[in-house]
Amino acid sequence: MFKSRRARSIFFLMVFMDNLGTALSNAVAKSMAPNAGILFSGGLDSAVLAFLAKKSGANPRLITAGTEDSEDLAFARKIASELGMELAERVLSPPEIHSLYLRTAKLTGETSFMKIELGLLLLSCCELAQKKGIHLLISGSGAEELFLGYKMHSEKHAASEDLEELRRTELAGLHGKDLKRSEKIATACGVRLALPYLDDAVVAAALAIPAADNFKGGENKAVLRKLARQMGVPESACSRPKRAMQYGSGIHSELQRLRKRKLI
């Protein structure tokens, strides 16, 4: 049937990509509900979710938070406009960031600075959702682990380390690592989280594609970027480099100032 091994590989990759696109579309459609919102940074993961939600016929509001001059806020405004979707934003001031940090630490019981600052952003968005009457927030959690988007993944790939087992291990450990904290924050605000990237069919479809394919063409998360481009997601979101949310949102530098003053 196939004239070469390369032709066979290309065919099966096309099949696997089609399966992934179908699974992710179905997962997003299943997640939709009245008064739903999407946690939105204007980056690849959230832009794919927003695009698929609109394609399904739903009209969720996009929810974002960050400092006025932050990269995430700028991208969220730009991509929301390109998608033609409503954006609800929370512009965080220094006193607000301080208050959110203290409340996040108390709510979650976390003592790790990094875990608290990540929780801070979710709390700010969940409070905004609650204010807007949104009871379901769709999150991009799991995409970094599934499509190997962290810097250390790229470093391990460059060192020819085995990433197949690593991503399975990371996915298995997500609940104890991040999701438990996120659920606690959302529940406190009367909000439920939906996680399309962690839908069983999505995970199975993504894991069927070789881990190394996520680094083709010099991009990380190349599989998801390729899928997004095929779907028609705005290119500015498809090509946006990964930036940790605490930096993209602008909160990290403000929290560091608070640490220097021993206020947190």
Architecture per CATH, 5-258: 3-Layer(aba) Sandwich (3.40)
Q: Are 253 and 246 in contact (CB under 8 A)?
A: no
Task: Look at the alpha carbons of 101, 151, 168, 195 in this order and tell me if their dihedral is positive or negative.
Answer: positive
**The amino acid at 69:** D
Name the average pLDDT for the chain: 93
Q: What does DSSP assign to residue 198?
A: G
Find the Cα–Cα–Cα–Cα dihedral 222, 199, 126, 42, rounded to 10°: 20
As a whole number of angstroms, the distance between CA 199 and CA 18 comes to 16
As a whole number of angstroms, the distance between CA 223 and CA 213 comes to 6
Q: What is the pLDDT of residue 179?
A: 94
Retrieve residue 140's tokens. 């991009």
Q: What is the pLDDT of residues 230-260, one digit of tens each?
A: 999 999 999 999 888 999 999 999 999 999 9
User: In the predicted model, what is the mean pLDDT of residues 131-147?
Assistant: 97
Boundaries of every domain in the chain: 5-258
Q: What is the pTM of this model?
A: 0.92
